[in-house]
Amino acid sequence: MYDSNQINCDGSVDLCNTEDINAKMRACGWDVIDVEDGCYDVEGLVKALLKAKASTEKATFVNIRTIIDVGSKVAGDVKTHGAAFPPKGVKAVKKALWMNPDEHFVVSDEAYAFFWDIKSCGNSLEEDWNSLVNDYAEEYPGLYEEFVKRVEGRFIEDWRSIIPAKEALSTAPTPSRKSAGIICNPLAAKLKNLLVGRADLSPSVNMIRKDKVDFAGM
C-alpha cells in the first residue's frame, strides 16, 4: 500500500522525483491498482484491497492518492510533514471527522463494535495454527524441533565456540566486510537456522561457502 500524498519535508515530491511509480512497479512485475481518492472513498479502498488479496500470481502495488492532514486547515501543506499539530488544529480535524473535539483518547462504541469480532476470529486462527503445528510435530518430530528453534531464535548452546579464537585471527588491518566473513561463515556452516542477507555482494562481503543454500522469496 503506497500512500501517494506527493509531499516531502522540502515541498512537493516532484522537486526531486518525477518518475511514473505505476509504470515502475509494472516493469518490476507487480500488479498495480489505483485508488484515486484515498481520503474518502472507503468503498474504493476496500475493493482495491480485496482485489489485491485475490491476486496470487504476482505481488500487488496499491497506489492510494491521499491529501496529507486531510480535514485540517493545513491539508496538503508541507508544514504538516512531521510537524507537531497544535491543539486548535486537532480540534478542527476532530470536528471535520464528526468527533467530539473535547474528548481525548476515546474510542467510540461504533468502532469497538466494528472490530469486536476480530478477537474471536483471531482466536479461531490461532487454534487452527496450533492444531496444524501439533500435527506436524507428530509426523515430523525432527523437523518440528528445527522449526521451533527458528521460531524461538535458539542457537546451539556452545555456538560461541564456533567463532575463531582471537589468537587465531590476523593482526593485520582487516576490512570489516572481510571480518564479517571470518566470523559468520563458520557460524553459518554449523547453525542451520542462521540466515545471511547479502543481496548481490557475496564475493565482496566474503559470504561464499561450499554448502551454502540460496533462498529467494517475494
If you average pLDDT over residues 1-25, what whole number do you get? 92
Q: Above pLDDT 70, what percent of the chain?
A: 99
Q: Are strands 2-4 and 60-65 parallel, antiparallel or unpaired?
A: parallel
pLDDT single digits (tens) 107-145:
889 888 889 889 999 999 999 999 999 999 999 999 999
Q: SS3 for 32?
A: strand
The single residue listed with the C-alpha cell 521460531 is 151
Calpha distance 4→108 (Å, rounded) = 29
Grid coordinates belonging to 206: 566474503
Q: Which residues of 118-135 are buried (b: 16+ CB within 10 A; e: fewer)?
A: eeeeeeeeeeeeeeeeee
Element housing 118 (H / E): helix 117-139
pLDDT single digits (tens) 135-145:
999 999 999 99
Calpha distance 54→50 (Å, rounded) = 6
Provide the 8-state DSSP code for 155.
Answer: P
- pTM for the whole thing? 0.61
If you average pLDDT over residues 6-30, what whole number do you get? 92
What are the extents of the domains in the chain? 2-66, 155-211
What pLDDT does 97 receive? 85
CA gyration radius for the chain? 26
